[in-house]
Structure 1
Amino acid sequence: MTLANYCLIAACLLPIVCAGLAKSRGFGKPRREGGFDNRDPRAWLARQQGWQARANAAQANSFEALPLFIAGVLAAQQMQAAQARIDLLALAFITLRLAYIACYLADKASLRSVVWAAGVACSVALFFA
């Protein structure tokens, strides 16, 4: 398995990590005290504020970023591009997504947008690798 394939798995797990962060303050508390409500998790998440709300938004964006990245890796591999280049772009994408999530949690909106754009550029570059 290539490094890019491992990056595909990592990219698929990032939204789950963000969801866990968004829900973390509610774990272990009873629902009546504001704890996580697994009966209506989307409504519970929609009521969150601050970094938890931003973690939930990062979760949604991480899911949104997946199709282009997955397609880019698979297209590059199908076109038999240099695997080292594919691996480099995939690793750069994952690194940028981690930075993006960190920027989202830290409420660094302008930097987050720059990092997001660089991640999209990596995904698009895979089609031309």
Structure 2
Amino acid sequence: MSLFFGLIPDSAASGIWAMVVASLLPLAMALTAKAIGGFNLADNAHPRDFLQGTTGAAARANAAQQNSYETLPIFLAAVLVAMLFFVPQLIINTIAWLYVLIRIGFCVAYITNLATFRSILWTLSMACSLMLFYLAIRVSM
């Protein structure tokens, strides 16, 4: 069985892939920040100094990178706990991929300086993680 016209399968692999994609988002934001900021090979000696010196969209992409690292452990733990407590896999996968899509939207909103929309997306992404924890608690009762 699958949801959303077959886009989200009910196998554990789908949830694991969502974790992989979410784990790669900070890297994608770092590369975006470097590309927008004009990073070159000489900057590789001190890449953090380079990123700290960026402004505008590059600085916001770097901030999106940092925020992605900050929320990632909560998401990863939530997915694993939900799997450990046998929340139905299709529900886990749907929420996990929803989290990924919301986080991609969050990064785009951050880079394009849509502050209020970004905050709404951040809240929704955290709600996904908290929902997985909640479902695990409900199943374990």
Structures share a fold, TM > 0.5? Answer: yes
After the TM superposition, which residues 1-129 of structure 1 pair with which residues of structure 2 at under 5 Å, given as runs? 1-25=12-36, 26-27=38-39, 29=40, 31=42, 37-129=43-135
Q: Which residue of 2 aligns with 1:34?
A: none
Q: Give the TM-score, by structure 2 length.
A: 0.84
Q: Secondary structure at the match of 2:134?
A: coil
Aligned equivalents of 1:41, 1:30: Cα separation in 2: 10
Q: Secondary structure at the match of 1:43?
A: helix
Structure 1 segments of 4+ aligned residues over 3 angstroms from their partners:
none
Q: Residues 11 and 73 from structure 1, CA distance in 2 versus in 1: closer, same or farther, beyond 3 angstroms?
A: same
Q: Give the TM-score, by structure 1 length.
A: 0.91
Amino acid at match of 2:17: Y
Amino acid at match of 1:79: F
Aligned equivalents of 1:79, 1:64: Cα separation in 2: 24
Unpaired stretches in structure 2, ≥5 consecutive residues: 1-11, 136-141
- 1:56 is displaced (CA, Å) by 0.3
Amino acid at match of 2:74: L
- Percent identity over the alignment? 37
Q: Residues 80 and 107 from structure 1, CA distance in 2 versus in 1: closer, same or farther, beyond 3 angstroms?
A: same
